[in-house]
Chain A
Amino acid sequence: MPGETALRVSPDVVAQDLGDGLVLLNLRTGIYWGLNSTGAAIWRGIENQDGVEKICRQLRAEFDGSEEEFASAVHALLSELAAHELIVEKAASAAKITGKKTRKAK
């Protein structure tokens, strides 16, 4: 489960901000993906190696929604990104991306 693992952007993936969203390209597979503006905000958080809590805080500042909705959206996206190998497990032990909730669960 990505939410419990330290994750980072795959070295095979490059991204380009298009204003209202983002394009991700997996250089290894040649497949590209689109992120809408919410997804782009989450992606920037991943790039910055922010924790889930910080990403949710930033989403709250930009979009309407409850804390649960944001947390759920972030975890769902992390799972999906990991499933498509757009983000990968981080080699280092620091688990910033797991955020406060995960740490509590531990």
Chain B
Amino acid sequence: MSAYPHQAKLERMTAVIETTGLTKTYGAVRALDGLSLSIPRGGVYGVLGPNGAGKSTLFRILLGLIRPTAGEVRVLGQHAGDPAVMRRIGSMIETPRFPPYMTARQVLEWLALAHGAKDAAIDAWLDRVGLTEAANRRVRGFSVGMLQRLGVAAALMTKPDLVILDEPTSGMDPPGIQEMRALIRSLADDDGVTIILASHQLLEVQRVCDRVAIFNRGTLAAEGKVSELTAAGERLRLSATPLAKIMNVLGDKATLDGDAVLAAIPRAEGPALLRALIEQGVDIDEARWVGADLESVFMAETGPARTDAQVREALHAG
């Protein structure tokens, strides 16, 4: 029998989250603007977007902390805010805070009582997030990274079917980030938990997520498998001499990348291009397909960042 009690029901469910026309306004500000999104069951789902894109607002609605202005949202097949559904969700929104007079173990004992989780394996979870040695220390002395770990343990110890993590690696050192990544993957792969996480660390998201949604100004800018999104920007990287000849052959499909050329062509045209270049006397040292990273996709969908010159100009103007 699975350690996760609702697993069988989840097997029959295709989407854990479904929103239709979800809108949330704060005065004149539209934090979410008619968002329609379906998050499939299983795996790790990344929610990306610049600050103010609506990620945290979506999470807060999912967790019943705020109510949407319009639209519908279903969580695990039920209306968001349904207590029966809420008990199947674990969450950590931003850097968690805890009563400072409590130790790490006491925090988990308190939350286990609050959640009615009498069988919560508190010591096992403290161990799993690397807080065994700090278990009896008061949380008022904890670093941000330690608070994050404790927050993750608090989110997971009730064996939820769905876990929502907002910036789970914020404030963590590199080994901590690596451990957290492994923990998230193991929960998704071994325990069958669906994990939704938001992060600004795009490399981490690319490494750990199966699918991502990119938000921009409260709307869905892009959604899909990480491999599919990054494949759309796939290019052939050629280290060869002379570069000028390659540039002539490819025209505006070529861009310089250090001492190599990136050719924006479909994968099927690769062999023909290589033959053509060899016939023209180009000496090819290396040719390999490189995918676009998630950062490129993100920037393409949300608009470019300001250039160094623009930042300097803004500083001088200020």
A binds B: no
Query: Which residues of A pack against B, CB within 8 Å?
Result: none
